[in-house]
């Protein structure tokens, strides 16, 4: 099932939060009157929507419509966590028949999907939670952040559906880069050696396909992980630097400010207000 979403106007945000289970947990069976978007943060939430089962893992999205019965179909482990957002679009979401495709204002989202860049999705979800509970004077701020999150999901899933061709499209290589992006020794030369490509050729093909240099992509993966750890954990700067493969914390702080435009501490302070629940 896929839905067409009109984003010509911001999607009206109703409420949301970050759920984290302290013990074994299963979602209560219920029916609601609004749309709900769930983003998996940690572990796996086992959800049934009508008669279909879905495993909501870290970086997955799940879209539930009004009037659809949903709940858990098995027990989730302690620590399972997901962000949840309720919204009520002005223009009703319509099932996508596949004949029209997307446009500048009409996006398509599936019921359930794994996001290619889960760190970026998690950061946007955290930003939306912060805005929703930060008491902004502009009451529509959360609407715009929700719409940004939906656009990001649609873009990621649209790009991942394109047909692969050539070294820059190699799904095995892209997954290897994602898994090793936080290594200290990661480099274009190491990736090229791993997959037996000429480094210059690989760099040219990657930039032609993705619109950014391969080394910049690696830095972006490191930065997204650093931002996630700053927003979601109490880890110190030195430990976060080590986890993203930058051994020196002073070097990490200069690198972070150069790429993000603010210090790691300033970034962390910007996203501290969240609505959290565990039931």
Name the residue ranges covered by the structural domains of the chain.
2-161, 167-270
In this structure, what are the phi and psi dihedrals at residue 5, rounded to the nearest 5 degrees?
A: -120, 120
Q: In the structure encoding, which two tokens stand for residue 167, read together? A: 């070294």
pTM of the full structure: 0.69
Confidence of residue 163 (pLDDT cuts 50, 70, 90): very low
Q: In the structure encoding, which two tokens stand for residue 69, read together? A: 């019965």
Residue 38 and residue 161: Cα distance in Å, rounded? Answer: 21
Asked if the model's pLDDT at residue 196 lies above 90, the reply is: no
Q: What is the pLDDT of residues 104-131, one digit of tens each?
A: 788 999 999 988 788 889 889 999 999 9
Residue 82 and residue 5: Cα distance in Å, rounded? Answer: 22
Q: What is the pLDDT of residues 203-260, one digit of tens each?
A: 988 887 777 899 999 999 999 999 989 988 899 999 999 999 998 999 999 999 999 9
Question: How far is the CA of 178 from the CAs of 175, 214, 266, in angstroms?
Answer: 5, 12, 27
Q: Can you list the alpha helix ranges (DSSP code H) found in the chain?
A: 118-133, 141-160, 171-180, 188-195, 199-210, 214-232, 237-243, 249-260, 264-270
Specify the CATH class of 167-270 in words: mainly alpha
Q: Are 263 and 227 in contact (CB under 8 A)?
A: no
Question: How far is the CA of 192 from the CAs of 43, 173, 196, in angstroms?
Answer: 33, 10, 6
Specify the CATH class of 2-161 in words: mainly beta
Confidence of residue 92 (pLDDT cuts 50, 70, 90): confident
């Amino acid at each position: 099932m896929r839905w067409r979403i009109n984003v010509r106007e911001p999607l009206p945000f109703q409420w949301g939060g970050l759920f984290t289970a302290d013990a074994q947990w299963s979602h209560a069976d219920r029916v609601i009157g609004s749309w709900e978007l769930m983003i998996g943060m940690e572990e796996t939430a086992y959800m049934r929507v009508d008669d279909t089962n879905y495993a909501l893992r870290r970086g997955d999205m799940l879209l539930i419509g009004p009037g659809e019965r949903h709940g858990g179909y098995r027990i989730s482990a302690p620590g399972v966590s997901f962000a949840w957002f309720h919204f009520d679009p002005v223009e009703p979401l319509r099932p996508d028949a596949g004949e029209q495709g997307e446009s500048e204002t009409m996006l398509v989202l599936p019921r359930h999907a794994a996001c290619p860049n889960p760190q970026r999705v998690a950061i946007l979800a955290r930003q939306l939670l912060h805005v929703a509970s930060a008491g902004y004077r502009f009451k529509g701020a959360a609407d715009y952040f929700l719409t940004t999150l939906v656009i990001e999901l649609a873009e990621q899933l649209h790009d991942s559906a394109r047909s692969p061709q050539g070294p820059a499209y190699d799904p095995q290589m892209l997954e290897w880069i994602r898994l090793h992006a936080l290594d200290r020794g990661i480099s274009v030369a190491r990736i090229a050696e791993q997959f037996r490509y000429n480094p210059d050729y690989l760099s040219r093909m990657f930039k032609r396909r993705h619109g950014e240099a391969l080394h910049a992509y690696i830095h972006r993966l490191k930065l997204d992980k650093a931002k996630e750890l700053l927003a979601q954990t109490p880890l110190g700067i030195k430990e976060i630097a080590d986890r993203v493969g930058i051994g020196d914390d002073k070097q990490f702080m200069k690198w972070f400010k150069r790429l993000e435009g603010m210090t790691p501490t300033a970034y962390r302070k910007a996203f501290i207000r969240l609505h959290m629940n565990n039931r």
